[in-house]
Amino acid sequence: MSPGGLTMGDKPGLVLLTGGTRGIGRALARAFLATGRAVAATWHADEIAAQGTREEFEPYGLSFSLTRCDAADPAAVRNWVSAVLQAQGPPDCAIHNAGSTLNARLAQTEEADWDAAMALHLGGAKNLVQACLRPMMKAGGQFIFLSSVVATTGNIGQPAYSAAKAAVVGFSRSVAREYGARRVRANVVLPGFHLTRLSEGLAPNALEAIRSRHLLAESTSLEEVAGFFLWLATTQTISGQIFNLDSRLPGYL
C-alpha cells in the first residue's frame, strides 16, 4: 500500500500541477498525494528542487510524476498533458501554479520582461486549459489558477506581475462562463504571502510591513493553503469564484 492509502485496482483522482517543486506547489503535491490522489507535476529551471521533490515523493511510486516543462510554451504543455493522459487518463483537477515575479517599476520594465510575465502567468493558464479542455468536457473537472492579492490592489514595483495576475482572474471567469454547461469549473485562489523563492531577499522591515497589513498580523501557512485546495478540488458546484486565503482586505474585481 502506498503512503496515500491506495491499493492495487484503486483509481485515484488525478491532479495536474504546473510548478510542483517549490513552495506552494510542492506543498500542494504533498497534500494531494497524502490523501490518495495521483499528481502529475512540472518543473522548469531549478534542477536541485526537482531532484529533492523526486526523492521526497519516491515512496508514492507511479502516483507521482515530474516532468520538465515550460508552462509558457504551448507545445511543451500539450506534449506533457498528452503523455499524462495516455498513461493515466483525464485529470479531474488541473492547477496552474508556475510563476515568477518581476520586480521593476514600469519605467525600468523591458518589453521582453513584460512579455515573459504575461506568457508565464496568463499564457500558462491558457496553455493548460487548451491542453486539458477536451478530456475535461467529456468527464468534467476543475481548473484552479493561482493569482495574487496584487491583482486587486496593484503594487509599486510590480506592474507586470500585477497585470498578469489580474488577467488570470478575467481569463478564469471566461472559462467558467464558456464551459460551465460541460461540467468544467474554473476558480482562482489568492494564496496570500508566504516565504517562498518568489519572496526571498525581502528585508525584515518589508516583511513586517506585509504582516502589518493583515488583520490577524500573520500570514496563512502553506499547510492551511494546501488544505483549502484539497477541499476546493472536491467541490462540484463552485465555479467562477475568487478565494482570498489571508486576512488582508483586497481591492475589488
Mean pLDDT of 106-134: 95
Mean pLDDT of 24-37: 97
Grid cell 496563512 — which residue? Answer: 220
Confidence of residue 247 (pLDDT cuts 50, 70, 90): low
Residues paired with residue 40 on neighbouring β-strands, in sequence order: 16, 65
Residue 207 and residue 240 in contact, taking contact as beta carbons nearer than 8 Å: no
pLDDT of res. 1: 33
More confident: 221 or 183: 183
| Residue pLDDT, tens place only, 53-62 | 999 999 999 9
pTM of the model: 0.88
- According to DSSP, the β-strands at 64-68 and 141-146 are unpaired
pLDDT of res. 203: 58
Least confident of 94-98, 179-183, 211-215: 211-215
Q: Strand 14-18's sheet: what is its strand order?
A: 64-68, 38-43, 14-18, 93-96, 141-146, 184-190, 242-244
pLDDT of res. 197: 56
Least confident of 26-40, 153-167, 188-202, 234-248: 188-202
Residues catalogued as catalytic: 161
CB-based contacts of 228, cutoff 8 Å, min separation 6? 189, 243, 245
Confidence of residue 28 (pLDDT cuts 50, 70, 90): very high
Residues paired with residue 66 on neighbouring β-strands, in sequence order: 41
Confidence of residue 196 (pLDDT cuts 50, 70, 90): low
Confidence of residue 155 (pLDDT cuts 50, 70, 90): confident
Confidence of residue 191 (pLDDT cuts 50, 70, 90): very high
Q: Which range, 100-104, 193-197, 233-237, has the best average confidence (pLDDT)?
A: 233-237
Mean pLDDT of 122-144: 97
pLDDT of res. 7: 33
14-244 classified as CATH 3.40.190.10: no
pLDDT of res. 190: 94
Backbone angles phi, psi at 149, to 5 degrees: -60, -25
Burial 54-70 (b: 16+ CB within 10 A, else e): eeebeebeebbbbbebb
More confident: 206 or 51: 51
Handedness of CA 41, 119, 228, 130 (dihedral sign): negative
| Residue pLDDT, tens place only, 170-181 | 999 999 999 999
pLDDT of res. 212: 62
The C-alpha cell of 47 is what?
534542477
CA–chain centroid gap for 146, Å, is: 5
Least confident of 24-38, 175-189, 193-207, 212-226: 193-207
pLDDT of res. 220: 82
Mean pLDDT of 195-202: 54
H or E, element range at 190:
strand 184-190
Backbone angles phi, psi at 169, to 5 degrees: -65, -50
Confidence of residue 207 (pLDDT cuts 50, 70, 90): low
